[in-house]
Each structure stands twice: as C-alpha cells, then as structure tokens.
A and B are shown apart, each in its own frame.
Chain A
Amino acid sequence: QVQLVESGGGLVKPGGSLRLSCAASGFTFSDYYMTWIRQAPGKGLEWLSYISTSGSTIYYADSVKGRFTISRDNAKNSLYLQMNSLRVEDTAVYYCARPSSQGGSGYYYFGYWGQGTLVTVSS
C-alpha cells in the first residue's frame, strides 16, 4: 500500500534552516509528481511546492519562493524540502502528498498524504 512518511521537523530559531524528507513506498515513486503542503496550527491548508517526476519542473507558492527548495531522489524514493530563512509564520505541520492516480481527474489532486511533520519556528 502507498506510504508516505515525513521526517526532519523540529524546533528551529527564526532565520534558521531545516531539511524535511518524505520517504515513499508501495508505489513506483518516479512515476508520480509530488507536492508539499502545510497547515499552521488551527489553520487551513497551504499548498507550497510541486516537483515533476524527473525534477525538471518545479513550482512554489509566493510565500516560500526563494527560501524553500524542493527536490527528489528517485533512486532513494525520497522527496525533500530544504527550508532556509525560516520565519515564525512558517510554523506548521508539513505534509508530502501524491496525486490520486496517474490519469484522469485524480491525477491533479492529492489522494495520498503522509502523517505530517511539525516544524516550529521560535526563539
């Protein structure tokens, strides 16, 4: 079965850096684009970033552009999010997510999510 397991969250000071990882299993990782989505405590969902199957196409939300970098290693079935210049407002649970399917309308939405990893930015 599809599994996505995030790791790397924790407490970091403003201006600091953190690297999140998402380990994928139960499917052919290289066949799917991947995304990062976050949720601040008690708040809604915020889409952050997209990376294509090969890593050649990447998109970011304006809120993280220039500070966060998404990457993937298909040989290791892993997705990453390098987060630099962290701000208090980056405090959130960070999810990696995969599209529901390789075709049809499900291709464009997130049918599989990890359990999330909490990032707390505080002095």
Chain B
Amino acid sequence: EIVLTQSPATLSLSPGERATLSCRASESVSSYLGWYQQKPGQAPRLLISDASNRATGIPARFSGSGSGTDFTLTISSLEPEDFAVYYCQQRSNWPRTFGQGTKLEIK
C-alpha cells in the first residue's frame, strides 16, 4: 500500500503567518492527492482534491501543489479558525490511505 508521510508532525505559527504543510508518498500518486482539515470533535472537511483543486466553499487562502511523490498544502495567511489537524489522502491506488496528520497549533 502507498504510505503517506506528513511533515512536520506539529507546526506552531501565529495568526497572519504563512503555513506550509508537506505530504510525501512512498511511490508516485500522480496528482491524485487530497487534503482534509479536522477540528476537535468534528468530522474531517475536504479542502483540496487532486493536488490543487479547492473544494466548494474553501477560502482562497488554502492552496495545494505538487505531483508525483511530493505535495504541499499552503495557507497563505492564518486565520484563528485554521488551527486544526490536517491530513493528506491518496486516491491513486487501493487501499486508499491517509497521512498521519500535521497539527497546526497557535504559537
């Protein structure tokens, strides 16, 4: 199965700063990678599909990039509501797999 490794495990930033989260695949997934945000006690929310397509209703400050094995989720200017855990997920192969998550916390 494809293993997704996210880094860093925890990212401490302040509101207004730029956040850069990484997801690396154990083999190429082409552009078939998505990103989710999860807040405590809530189900995950889809942010990005196929590397760079923002889901409906997702603010423009969220952007995704990458292909092959290396992907990035960028939040251009952090809002207080952006502090959460972020997961990547590949849809290239079965079984689908998720990364272990990056916790974005307030510095």
Contact = CB atoms under 8 A, between A and B. Distances in A.
A100 B95 contact: no
A105 B99 contact: no
A122 interface: no
B58 to A, nearest CB: 11
Interface string B31-59: 01010101000011010011001011000
Interface of B: 1, 32, 34, 36, 38, 43-44, 46, 49-50, 53, 55-56, 87, 89, 91, 94-101
Interface string A38-69: 00000011110010000000011110000000
Nearest to A47: B96
Given A47-B97, A108-B34, 11 more contacts: A44-B87, A59-B94, A59-B95, A62-B1, A104-B53, A105-B49, A105-B53, A110-B36, A110-B89, A115-B43, A116-B43
Interface string A91-123: 000010000100011101111011110000000
Most buried by B among A45, A50, A115: A45
Contacts of B49: 100, 104-106, 108-109
Contact of A50 (B53, B56, B96): B96
Given A46-B98, A100-B56, A105-B49, A113 B91 contact: no
B46 A45 contact: no
